[in-house]
Amino acid sequence: MDLLSTYIVHQADNALILGHRNSEWTGHGPILEQDIAISNIALDLIGQARNFYQLAASRMNEMDPGRNVGEDDLAYLRDSNEFRNLILVEQTNGDWAKTVLRQFYFSTYQFLLYRELVNSSHPDIAAISEKSIKESRYHLNWSSEWVIRLGDGTEESHHRMLQAAQELSAWIAELFLAVDFDYEAEATHAGILPEILKAEWYQRINKIFETATLPKLSSELKPLQMLSGKNGVHSEHLGTLLTEMQFLQREYPGSHW
Amino acid sequence: MGVWEYGKNYKMNEEHIIDILSEVKDPEIPVLSISELGILRKVEISGDKISVEITPTYSGCPAMDTIRDDIRSELAKHGLKQVEIKQVLSPAWTTEWMSETGKEKLRLYGIAAPSKHNCKNGEDHADSCPLCHSENIEMVSRFGSTACKALYRCRDCGEPFDYFKCH
């Protein structure tokens, strides 16, 4: 896979893996309306993932006419070390606090990213971003409200938010670390280096945290040296997620809806 | 404008095709056709091939596959089988493309429609209950029965209803 295809697959992987995690709440949400909300967010994300996978697949087929890769091959037939998603999105759901905080972190990042990618030199990346940014903004509003409601809620909900912030803090630095495909995307103006999003990301997060009476997040957080989801080196959680998500396609190869 | 030879005596142009496709409804809002919703973007005839462009309301809209199938079968009823359906993403779908007649049909069906004025000012909320027209309403959830809707309740008549969100 060439670097720009990998860049596109990285966007798809983020959306698919978080979409899948959110879909694990379907039927288990704390109340019916929020069960529907998180399932709808899952649907948006999986839709975005499909658009990016289809783009990557057609690009790969064009570059290598002997191949016939489809979106399903990319989603269901790659192993964990081939997935390029951020480690943040593969983290387990935990409680509702952890789920909404993970969503808040990611939606803020994704919204800022799409805001840049609508100007991508690659017309299809620009089109998918233009389509998706409205959805991300909605996810961002929804998750911000939840962070405030729980942070500035009861003693218990505040405590749960603190715990979630603690658990997720290790995966924040990776959002802004560039790898080979980011440099390629930036050089061709198809994409950007994620570090340009960092200042505004922290500013937005801390503004909501202030309202939510949560302690300010330090922008000096360091990545864990051993792990890099964008390079295919994941936490232990991705493997179990893929085992379930890919089961049907592995057991019954080539099956279609 | 392309013309497609239909049988021996008819010639069809794009407008005929658009007319035929007015029979294709959104499977989740069966009172609205795909053109009233703004999902149908373009119809082109070249030679004996018809190409249809559609755009999704939301990226993950599960109705898109059904809509594709429905377009094919509607055209097939008229003997039109050389059909290519393409999904386009840009320009991105917006509720502004929904026709006023479409919005009126939505209300009659029991779904509050987004108002141009509200959407323009970034105020994404329903104005009144589509059933009793009371303005004494409240939002229950930002997300409703499908990705494009939010859930409301009327404080006067007590009925829950969907609101088609600004997008």
pLDDT at residue B5 tops 80: no
Residue B3: the pLDDT is 57
Chain B interface with A: residues with Cβ < 8 Å: 56, 58-62, 65, 88-93, 140-147, 151, 165, 167
Residue A222, token pair as written in the block: 């360091």
Q: What is the mean pLDDT of residues B53-75?
A: 93
- Find the DSSP H helices in A152-193: 155-168, 180-187
For residue A20, give how far its alpha carbon lies from the nearest alpha carbon of chain B (Å): 13
B130 and B83 together in one domain: no
Quick one: how many helices (H) and strands (E) in chain A? 11, 0
Q: Is A123 on the interface with B (CB under 8 A)?
A: yes
Nearest-angstrom CA–CA distance, A38 and B143: 9
B19 and B80 together in one domain: yes
pLDDT at residue A34 tops 60: yes
Q: Write the ipTM.
A: 0.83
Q: Which amino acid is residue A34, in one-letter code?
A: Q
H or E stretch covering B44: strand B40-46
Q: Which of B56, B87, B118 is the last residue of a domain?
A: B87
Domains assigned to chain A: 3-217+225-251 (1.20.1260.10)
Q: Which of B31, B64, B87 is the last residue of a domain?
A: B87
B73 and B24 together in one domain: yes
B105 and B83 together in one domain: no
B79 and B107 together in one domain: no
B12 and B80 together in one domain: yes
The parent domain of residue B126 ranges over 95-164
Share of chain B above pLDDT 90, in %: 66
pLDDT tens per residue across span A109-120:
999 999 999 999
Residue A73: the pLDDT is 95
Residue A219: the pLDDT is 85
CB pair distance less than 8 Å for A43 and B91: no
Nearest-angstrom CA–CA distance, B91 and B72: 24
CB pair distance less than 8 Å for B142 and A48: no
B70 and B141 together in one domain: no
Q: What is the mean pLDDT of residues A184-189?
A: 98
B83 and B11 together in one domain: yes
Residue B8: the pLDDT is 47
pLDDT tens per residue across span B113-154:
998 888 888 888 999 999 999 999 999 988 888 888 999 999
Q: What is the mean pLDDT of residues B87-102?
A: 90
Residue B4: the pLDDT is 55
CATH at B8: 3.30.300.130
Residue B2: the pLDDT is 56
B9 confidence band (pLDDT: 50, 70, 90): very low
B58 and B38 together in one domain: yes
pLDDT at residue B10 tops 90: no
Q: Which of B87, B121, B145 is the last residue of a domain?
A: B87
A 187-226 residues with CB < 8 A to B: none
Nearest-angstrom CA–CA distance, A15 and A60: 20
Number of domains in chain B: 2
B65 and B20 together in one domain: yes
B77 and B130 together in one domain: no
From the list B56, B147, B167, which residue is nearest A40 (CB)? B147
